[in-house]
Amino acid sequence: MQEKETTKNFGAYMDRTIKLIKHNYTKSFKEIGVDITTEQWVILDSLNEKDGLSQNELASGSFKNAPTVSRIIDLLCKKDLTERKPSKEDRRKHHIFLTVKGRNTYLKALPIVEGLRKKGWNGLNDEDYDHFIRIMNQVFSNFEL
């Protein structure tokens, strides 16, 4: 029988798992010749969902901060996967759009991502997922206050 720790070091488990997940994404993207990082994928995914988001909207949607998004967009634009268009209503804002190349890249990467998600959840079921989401949301809201 396993002794219960007085405090639960759940962070370490998440940390090592996240690192391994990102490693798998990076490796798989490279294998199919898609030149993006895991974090760049997150941004492309948001834009595919809703094109023309502002950088702030991308930031809050992906839980990144403004400088990080600014620099990721720099790189994506340099690779011609996205473009910045100045907003007409608010001249401080940029709207970010997928280019044709960006959308193609997204579509090329998508089956890989879905494959990795399936692979990662192998041996687990929908109940596990519900429980997992409940735990994650609880931990998140515990720290949010």
Partner DNA sequence: TCAATATATTTGTCATAGCAACTATTGTTA
Partner DNA sequence: TAACAATAGTTGCTATGACAAATATATTGA
Query: Of 86, 13, 96, which is closest to residue 61 (Cα–Cα)?
Result: 96
Segment (H or E) for 95: strand 94-98
Are residues 83 and 96 in contact, defined by beta-carbon separation less than 8 angstroms? yes
85 binds its own copies (CB under 8 A): no
Cα end-to-end span (Å), the chain: 35
28 binds DNA (CB under 7 A): no
With the C-alpha atoms ordered 79, 85, 91, 92, is the resulting torsion angle positive or negative? negative
Minimum Å distance from CB 100 to its own copies?
25
Are residues 107 and 97 in contact, defined by beta-carbon separation less than 8 angstroms? no
Q: Contacting its own copies (CB under 8 A), which of 1, 4, 89, 91? A: 4
Q: Contacting DNA (CB under 7 A), which of 13, 32, 71, 137? A: 71
Of 38 and 110, the one with the shorter C-beta distance to DNA is 38
Of 22 and 117, the one with the shorter C-beta distance to DNA is 22
Q: Contacting DNA (CB under 7 A), which of 13, 32, 56, 104? A: 56
117 binds its own copies (CB under 8 A): yes
Length of the chain: 145
Catalog residues that contact DNA under the rule CB under 7 A: 15, 19, 22-23, 26-27, 37-40, 54-57, 64-68, 70-75, 84, 90-94
